[in-house]
Every structure is written in structure tokens, then in C-alpha cells.
Amino acid sequence: MIENIVGGFSSILAVGPITGIIVGIIVGIIFGAIPGISCIMAIAIILPLTFYVDPIVGIPMLLAVYKAGIYGGSISAILINTPGAAAAFLTAQDGFSLTKAGKSGKALSMALYASVTGEMLSTLVLIFVAAPISLISIKAGPIERVFLLIFAFTVIGSLSSESIPRGLLSCVLGMLFALVGMSPITGASRFTFGFTELLGGFTFTPMLIGILVMPEVIKALRQRNTPHQNLTLTKSSNPADNRISWKEYRSVFGTIIKSSGIGTFIGSLPGLGSSPAAFLAYGEAKRSSPNPEEFGKGSIRGIAAAESANNAVCGASLIPMLTLSIPGDDVAALMMGAFLIQGITPGPTIFYEHTHVIYTIFAGYFITDFFLLFIARIGFKFWTKVASVPKYYIFPCVTIFAFAGSFTANQDINDVLVLIIFSVLGYGMRLVGLNPAAFIIGFILTPFFEANLDQAIAIVGGNYLLFFSNPFSWIFTALTVLSVYSSMRQRKKAAAMKESVLIKVTES
Amino acid sequence: MHKKSKALIAITAALAISFMALSANAEYPQKPINVIVPYGAGGDSDLTTRVWADAVEKLIGNPIVVINKAGGGGVVGTAFVARSKNDGYTLINAGLGNMLVTPNFSKTPYDFDTFTPIVKMTSVPFAVAVKSDSPFKTFDEFVAAAKASELTQGSYGAASSGTILANIVADHMGYKPRYVHSNTTAESMVSLIGGHIDSAMSFPPAFGPHVKSGRARVLVLNQKMDEYPGVPTLKDYGIQESLEGWSGIFAPKGVPEEVVTKLIEATKKVMKDPKVLQAYKNMGAIVDFRYGEDWIKDMKVTYDGMKIAADKMKK
């Protein structure tokens, strides 16, 4: 195995593959950072180009687009509160708070270091222990995934800072909107009111931008009469505010490791993808954090958790694809297409039949992280400037990107309408105090939950005891209870602290 | 002399302009052609279309852009093309699901007659697969067990082409499976390999890698395939219907005859390209290049068959 890895590294360190990786990284960062254009589009566009080049050039390039694209989503999330990819929306919560405080450099650095660390760890797992992990992950069938998803829903507890009932209400609202369209199970149309366009449900990207981003623009519009300095974000002059010190990195290192673990595990389960991984890691990081009240208000731990988890999915989602020919998410499905067309059938035999190719690809996947670190660092100087541009320049640009991005994803004008409708809804939700983040979580998790619940019910037939007949179910039920309990306890503690402060204030 | 050359220039210019006008009228294509794939990127329909588009694009020297418009089991993308201009610049990736099955089972704003079929590139035979350590060694054993007790079978939606095909087979053989619906056949193969379901209806691109690695077994196929010798076909069990998934290219009805012939001619050449053939083989699809009246008639027969099956299932 060691000689295979060494051989892989010596093949990847050639002009062709390295150029491919660098091009892939640049394309990935750019596509990932532009809101509404995701890395999957970039991969789909580049895919035919790779049909005619050597697999050790083409496939590392596609993988570089993937890794860089997932990372790129965090840049726009941090700087202009516009998550470029769905998984980055938790990053936006903390990242943009830091940007507002003039610490965009700190947020960007944390996101980059956490991303690269998460990716590296999961790539190492992919290289060394792919086979045993995949055997465990296929044992997690629909029944087990139902319990895992119930656990994922508890992240709402960590996100709804003001009020749990409002968080739950927002989540249910998100679930309701997720049901619109043709049922994937029965084929019946739900809540479409006769519109064919609605059969596919609401398109995710315009909805996400509408709920999370456009309300910020509307809010800024309403502040147009306030003095200009309020609309300009000044960059902190203290250099320590715009970088991550070794000490800070070390203080969140535990979180990064744990989140990477969560990301790797979720990534190796087929069919969940990077968003649930980020939710779980964020919730867990908040639960175990010494100062949970900082989350959502500019916590570097929050950024570290969300970013390392969603990037760890990159490496791990290839595990079921390569070892069992099961694509874990839509990107992995495209990758599998790329492998198949090159004549490499993913599966356990891949390691014997195409030893050299596969280890070269692994080596390329690993060194992509170093190039990403390097290339992204160069970009920082330009990107942090974006954050200090006055809002009255930024927001029109954001609006244009939002509309253009909504249109380009499917080249469908109806998606622009979806953006407008959800912008209004998102602003309305803020006015009445509903939680947009919880809404998005409901929207993202519901299709997974519905599909798995339906499969689980079909599998158990009449014998509902099967739901509780395996350890997975019990472990996740226990984790769910623990998570609900700890978020209740934190809330009590926070309330008690507030009260004691109040008492002190009234006493003095 | 001076006058002469001026006149010459004028004549040449006039000729050039009229040629340009002529070519603008006659030559298809003049701008990029969009092919809508009504499913997500990376699936069988998407990959077969991308290989076709890439090869034809090189041949005719005009960009062919593949756009994924997924949703509603293929209805959203197909309905979009049904409403598009029939000028030959918007085409649809057609298949068993969106053209022959869904219009019969769900309310769709289009049906088979809304489109002009152009070519069929590939087909994939229906199959029933089980896990390799399953107690059912043959299709007969499986049928016997399925008659004795309700077995679970993976499919992809109650009104999907997969379930329709599986039901035709089940009806013939006299068993009734309990369907477990995933989003794709690839996903239901995961449940099968993980031991969560007893059997799965599937197609070669989805089960191929699993059978090759010895984790799954095919019990029955719609059509003989060299890769799977010794697997009985449904014909052996007296099922004559065409139970296959396929991938082709359709255009909105009333598309100029020139577009149809041009694309058929281009596809004829592309289907001889060993690279294209190899790419399809690697995917696990059977190259099944068809066009013209006979083919359309055959599809119509299947369409009517699906209508009967739909009415039966709705009862």
C-alpha cells in the first residue's frame, strides 16, 4: 500500500495533473463564491472536457473543483452574508457578524484553515480506511437514517437563540414549503394549485438567497436615511483581528477534529450530503462549547465547526462511491459518471484493477489541499477589500448576483419569481421574529426525512418493533435526548445569568 | 479599368450578401442547440445525453448545451420543452419514464404526441436483482417465495417507470411485492447490498458494478446480455412486452424536417465512433440506435400498453 501511495505521488507531480488541479481550484473557488452558482454546475460544465484527457489529469481536476467549490461558498457567506453554497449558510451566521465587527480577515482565515483541515483528515480516512468504513455505512439503512435525521433536527435548538417555539414554528414552515411539488413516492402533486412549474417544488438556490440574503438588502434600503458611516464597514486596524493566531487555532482544534469526524461519517453515508453534516457539527460544537452564547454572533468556533464538517464531506463522499459504487450525493454521482466514461468502474475491484490510477487520484486529492491553502491565501487581500466597500455599492451587486444566480442555475425565469416571493417572505419572517435559519433546516432535511421514513415504514411492514431492534436507533435516540436536554439546560443557565445581571443592575 | 474594378467589387459584395442570406435561411444550426435533461446531473439519462451531445457537437461544429432541469419525475423539464419553440434549438432527452409512463399516470401538460421523436441511442433491459448471499438462487425460487409471503422490492416511486415494469412482471408471475421507493435505482441498490430489502428492480448501469464485484446477483433480465451469460430472460417466462428503459432525443412537434434529418445523419456517424460506443458500454447501456417510422410505431405500442397498465393500477 505504501509503495502504491508513493507511486501515486510521483505520478501526480507532473505538469499535466498539477495544471489540472490549479485550474480546478481557481474555477471551483470562483464558482463556489458566486451566490447561486454552485460547484456542481462547474463540474457538469467541465465534465465533457475530461472525457478525452488522461484520467489522472481529468479526475483530479474535477475533484479540485469540488473541494475548492465547497470552500468557496464560505467567502461570499462571510463577506456579504450571501452563502454561495447551501452548506455555508451557518458560516454566514458567524462569519458575517465578524465582518461587521471589522474582522473579516479572521473569519476568512478560520474558514480556510478549518476547511483545509477537515478536507485533509477526511482524505486521509479515504486513503487508509475507506473499505472498512463503507462496510459500516451500508449497514445504516432507511430505519437508522430516520433516527439520524431526527437527531439532525435538534440543531434547531442551538440556532433559535431567542425562542424555541418560534424556532420550531419556523422549521415547520420550512417543512411545509419542502412538501410542495410532486411526491417522489406516490407521484401525486401536492400544493401545486395546478401549476406545472411547481411540480418540481421550489428551487433551492433562489429560495435560500430569498430567505437569507435579500432581507438584508431590504433592511439596508430602509436605513437609507441614516448617516453613511453606519453603512460602511471599517476594517479593524489591529492586525490581530484579521488573522487566526496559532493559539486561536489550537483552541478550536478539538472542535475541528470532532466536526471533521462528523463530516466524514455523514459523508460516508450515501445520500445525505454536506448540509446535514454542517448542522450536526454546529449543534454539537455549540452544545459542548464553553461559551455557547457567542454562537451566531461571531464565534470562530462556529465557523470552524460548520466549515470543517461540510468540507470533510468532500473526501468521505467518495468512500461509498469508490468502494461500493454508491454515489453519496449529486456531486459524487457526477464523479462516478466521469469514472465510468473513463472506463474505470468504481467498486472494490478498483483498487486491484486500476491501482496506479486510483492512488494517483488519491495523491492528487491530497495535494489539492495544499494548493487550495496557498491559492486561497493569495486571494485574501482582494476579498477583504470587498468587505470594506460601502454597503451602497455592495448591495446592488448582491441583488444583481442574486437575480442572475437564481436564473442561471436552471435557466428558468420562474426561479427569479421564486426569489422575489421568498425575499418578501424572508423579510416578513424577520419582522414577526421567525427564524430564517430554522426555516432552511426544515426545508433541507424534510425531503431526506420523508423518503427515509417512507422506506423504513415499507420495510418494517406491520412489525414496528423493527424500528428499535438495532443499536443505531438507540444510539441516535440517546443523542437526540441528550441534545434536547443540554440545550434546555443552557437556556436555563443563560436565563439565570440574565436575571442575576438584572438583579445586580436594580440593586445598584 | 477603374470603373470595371468598382463594378466587380459591387458584384462580389452583392453575391456575398445573398449567399449569407441564403445560408441564414437554409443551414441548421445557426446558434447553440439546447438539450434539456429532465433529471439531475450524473444519472443514466444525463450521461447518455452528454456523450451524444459532445460527439454530435464536434461533428456539426456547433455547440450543443446540455441543461439539467430536474423535478417532478421528469415532468418539469419535459413540459418546458413541450412549450418551447419548435425551431430545433430546444431538444429533450426522452426516455421510458417521461414520454411513455408519466403521461399515463400523472396529470401532465403534454403526452407522447406533443413531440417529434428523432433518435434513440441506448436501452437498458429491466432486471430483478438480489443480494449475493440471498437464499433465492434462481428467479423460480424467488417467485415461489414471493408468492408464499410478501417480499420487499426496491423501486423508485409508485408512479415511476420502474414500478410499472416491476408490476407487469409481478402480475404475470402471480406475486405481489411490497415496494420500497428510493429516489433512483442506484439508491435502491444500496438498500439491497446493505441487506435492508429482499430484492430490487434495476437496470444494468445501476447493478452492473455490484454484480461484477460479487455483491449482487441478477435473477432475470428482459434481454440477453453478453456480460451476464446464463441469466434467463423474461421471454423464457412468457413475458413478451418490451420491458426496457431507454434514452433518446425528441423535439417539440412540428420541428422542421431538415432538423430531424440533420440530427439523424449526424447520429448515424456518431454511432460508429468507437469512442462513443465504448463510453456507452462502460456505462452498462446497450447501444440501440433507432430512428424512423418503425421505431415510432413500436413506441406507440408500448405507450398504449402503459395506458392499460395505468388503468389497472389506478383501480
pLDDT single digits (tens) A267-300: 887 767 778 888 888 888 888 888 877 888 888 9
Q: What is the pLDDT of residues A412-432, one digit of tens each?
A: 788 899 999 999 999 999 899
- pLDDT at residue number B183: 82
Among residues A76, A378, A137, the alpha carbon closest in space to that of A264 is found at A137
Global confidence as pTM? 0.80
Q: A390 in contact with B at a CB cutoff of 8 Å?
A: no
d(CA B115, CA B104): 15
pLDDT, residue B21, reads 47
- Is residue A332 within 8 Å of residue A137, measured between CB atoms? no
| Phi, psi dihedral angles at B124 (to 5 degrees) | -135, 120
- Rounded to a whole number of angstroms, the CA Rg of chain A reads 23
Separation of alpha carbons A427 and A433, rounded Å: 10
Q: Residues A481, A484, A489, CA angle at the centre, nearest 5°?
A: 120
What is the predicted ipTM? Answer: 0.80
**Touching check for A437 and chain B: CB below 8 Å?**
no
Contact B49, B37 (CB under 8 A): yes
What is the model's pLDDT at position B154? 94
Q: Which three cell numbers stand for residue A8?
A: 501515486
CA closest to A136 among chain B residues: B194
CB contact under 8 A, B186 and A189: no
Report whether pLDDT(A127) > 90. no
For chain A, domain boundaries:
2-136+146-507
**Are B145 and B151 spatial neighbours (Cβ–Cβ below 8 Å)?**
yes
Nearest to A328 by CA among A77, A138, A44, A99: A138
Q: What is the tens place of the pLDDT at every residue in A42-82?
A: 787 777 777 778 888 989 999 999 989 888 888 888 887 77
Question: Which chain B residues are closer than 8 Å to A349 by Cβ?
Answer: 212-213
pLDDT of residue B1: 45
Q: Which residues pair with A31 in a beta bridge?
A: none
Which residue among B40, B76, B105 places its CB closest to the CB of A196? B76
Nearest chain B CA: its distance from A427 CA (Å): 27
> B305 exposed, middle or buried (CB, 10 Å; 0-12, 13-18, 19+)?
middle
In terms of Cβ atoms closer than 10 Å to its own Cβ (0-12, 13-18, 19+), residue A379 is: middle
* Angle subtended at Cα B118 by Cα B113 and Cα B121, rounded to the nearest 5 degrees: 120
Q: Where are the beta strands (DSSP E) in B178-299?
A: 178-181, 199-202, 216-221, 244-252, 286-290
Cβ atoms A45, A85 nearer than 8 A:
no
Is the peptide bond between B29 and the residue preceding it cis, with omega within 30 degrees of 0? Answer: yes
Query: What's the Cα-to-Cα distance from A493 to each of A81, A497, A498, A500, B7, rounded to whole Å?
Result: 30, 6, 9, 11, 96
Chain A environment of B76 (Cβ under 8 Å): 196-197, 199-200
Average pLDDT per run of 10 along chain B, which is 315 residues long? 61 57 65 91 85 93 88 86 93 94 87 95 94 94 95 90 91 93 85 92 89 90 90 92 91 94 95 92 91 94 88 76
Share the mean pLDDT of chain A. 83
Among chain B residues, the shortest Cα distance to A52 is held by: B275
Q: So what's the pLDDT on residue A234?
A: 64
Cβ proximity of A429 and A170 under 8 Å = yes
User: Cα angle at B101 between B99 and B102, to 5 degrees?
Assistant: 80
**Scanning the structure block, which residue is given the C-alpha cell 438495532?**
A470
* B63/A contact by beta carbon, under 8 A: no
Which site among B196, B197, B203, B283 would you substitute to test the A interface, given the most A Cβ atoms closer than 10 Å to its Cβ? B196
- CB proximity list for A128: less than 8 A, separation 6 or greater: none
Contact A94, A298 (CB under 8 A): yes
CB contacts, 8 Å: A48 with chain B: 50, 53-54
pLDDT, position A309: 92
Beta-strand pair B90-95/B244-252: antiparallel
| Chain B residue with Cα closest to A47 | B50
pLDDT given for residue A1 in this prediction: 74
CA-nearest of B13, B220, B215 to B126 is B220
pLDDT tens string A134-185: 777 778 788 888 888 888 888 777 666 667 888 899 999 999 999 998 888 8
Between positions 195 and 214 of B, the ones with CB within 8 A of A are 195-197, 208-210, 212-213
pLDDT attached to residue A279: 85
Q: How much is the average pLDDT of A305-333?
A: 82
Residue A37, pLDDT above cutoff 70: no
What mean pLDDT do residues A313-323 have?
A: 84
C-alpha dihedral (A429, A430, A433, A438), degrees to nearest 10: 70
Q: Which helix (H) or strand (E) element contains residue A214?
A: helix A214-222
- Quote the CA–CA distance of A173 and A355 in Å, as a whole number: 49
Give all strands of the β-sheet with B216-221 in edge-to-edge order. Answer: B178-181, B152-155, B199-202, B127-131, B216-221
Closest Cα in chain B to A139: B194
Cβ-nearest to B190 among A187, A189, A326: A326
Residue B71 contacts A where some CB pair is shorter than 8 Å: yes
Residue B94's φ and ψ, nearest 5 degrees, are: -100, 155
d(CA A302, CA A294): 9
CB count within 10 Å of CB A484 equals 15
In B230-269, the residues whose Cβ lies within 8 Å of chain A are none
Interface test with A, best of B47, B68, B181, B190 (most A CBs within 10 A): B190
- Cα dihedral A31, A34, A35, A41, rounded to 10, equals -20
What's the gap in Å between the CA of A481 and the closest CA on chain B? 26
Contact A327 B278 (CB under 8 A): no
Helix or strand holding residue B127 (H, E): strand B127-131
What is the per-residue burial (b if ≥16 Cβ within 10 Å, else e) of B73-100?
bbbbbbbbbbebebbbbbbbbbbbbbbb
Torsional sign, CA A58, A64, A70, A74:
negative
Nearest to A309, CA basis, from A61, A24, A34, A70: A70
A455 — contact with chain B (CB < 8 Å)?
Answer: yes
Residue A508 confidence class, pLDDT cut points 50, 70, 90:
low
Task: Considering only the beta carbons, identify the residue of A200, A334, A461 that sits closest to B72.
Answer: A200
Give percent of chain A above pLDDT 90.
21
Contact B181 A143 (CB under 8 A): no
DSSP 8-state assignment for residue A229? G
Interhelix angle for B204-212 vs B185-193, to 10°?
A: 30
